[in-house]
Amino acid sequence: MSEALVLIERRGRVGLLTLNRPKALNALNDALMDELGAALLAFEADPDVGAMVITGSEKAFAAGADIGAMKDWSYADVYGSDFITRNWETLRRIRKPVIAAVAGYALGGGCELAMMCDILVAGDNARFGQPEIKLGIIPGAGGTQRLPRAVGKAKAMDLVLTGRLMDAAEAERSGLVSRVVSADKVLDEAIELATVIASMSLPSVMMAKEAVNRAYESPLSEGLLFERRQFHALFATEDQKEGMEAFMTKRTPQFKHR
């Protein structure tokens, strides 16, 4: 049997997914994206998982969509198979938080995959970029849309139109990543962060993610109304009673995730 393209592990309440095509710098082909999608959905359905981490190797998170696989495709091939939407969009459907632990290259589809995650933690050797322009194409998995939302139009244009790479310090400065640590610590840091999130009440975590994402999709008044309704809804959970009771009696809450 061939080796798994995505390694699947559990660390407490955290589901860990490691992209595993090291020789190709984790270039993202159809088979890998199918495996990743299936693993994400399995963690999503598992009540004992509260958050997920996607990582790569120390040299590459992922160097993009697989150029070798794509190079001879025609318009009919990519349109007909709905290339990218078909198995890349699974990550968008995941309602639990997903953290990208990025060391090394996160380029093209690799950068886009990281940006589909909710939080990016970077190693100090991380390099982000959308170099598709150098291949005679443009980003196709959300790069032209998510990058400007994360770093602003000027820097997104600079990166997308030149294909230049951005280091971890620039990525942190511009708001793409939330934390930078040394490359050998990036996975530990991401798992620690995911463990903290997974220790919170799952309904409140999921509603918080949904509400923050609304900030990108709706006018302020709609987003505020959505947030208010989610806030109200959480008063129907056992965990809200437990969280507030624990605070009042000065003890650690024991969330039941319902």
Q: Contact between 191 and ligand CAA (CB under 6 A)?
A: no
Cα–Cα dist 53/194, whole Å? 7
Q: 139: left (phi > 0), else alpha (psi -120 to 50), else beta?
A: beta
Residue 219 binds to ligand CAA (criterion: CB under 6 A): no
Q: Which is nearer to ligand CAA, 79 or 247 (CB)?
A: 79
Backbone phi, psi, residue 96, to 5°: -80, 155
61 sits near ligand CAA (criterion: CB under 6 A): no
User: Taking CB under 6 A as the rule, which mask of x and - marks residues 129-168 in contact with ligand CAA?
Assistant: --xx--x---xxx-x-------------------------
Structure tokens at 143: 């790069």
- What's 4's DSSP letter? P
109 in catalytic set: yes
* Binding-site member from 18, 101, 112, 189 for ligand CAA (CB under 6 A): 112
Q: How many degrees, rounded to 5, is the angle at CA 19 between CA 87 and CA 81? A: 20
Helix axis angle for 220-233 and 202-217, nearest 10°, is: 170
- Strand ranges (DSSP E) for 108-172? 119-123, 127-129, 166-167
Contact region with ligand CAA (CB under 6 A), list: 2-10, 50-58, 64-72, 168-176: 64-72
Known active-site residue 60: no
Residues between 7 and 46 with contacts to ligand CAA, criterion CB under 6 A? 24-25, 27
Of the residues 56, 64, 123, 243, which one makes contact with ligand CAA according to CB under 6 A: 64
- The reply on whether position 123 binds ligand CAA by CB under 6 A is no
Nearest residue to 14 (alpha-carbon basis) of 177, 176, 202: 202
| Catalytic residue list | 65, 109, 112, 132
Residues that bind ligand CAA (CB under 6 A): 24-25, 27, 63-68, 84, 105, 107-109, 112, 131-132, 135, 139-141, 143
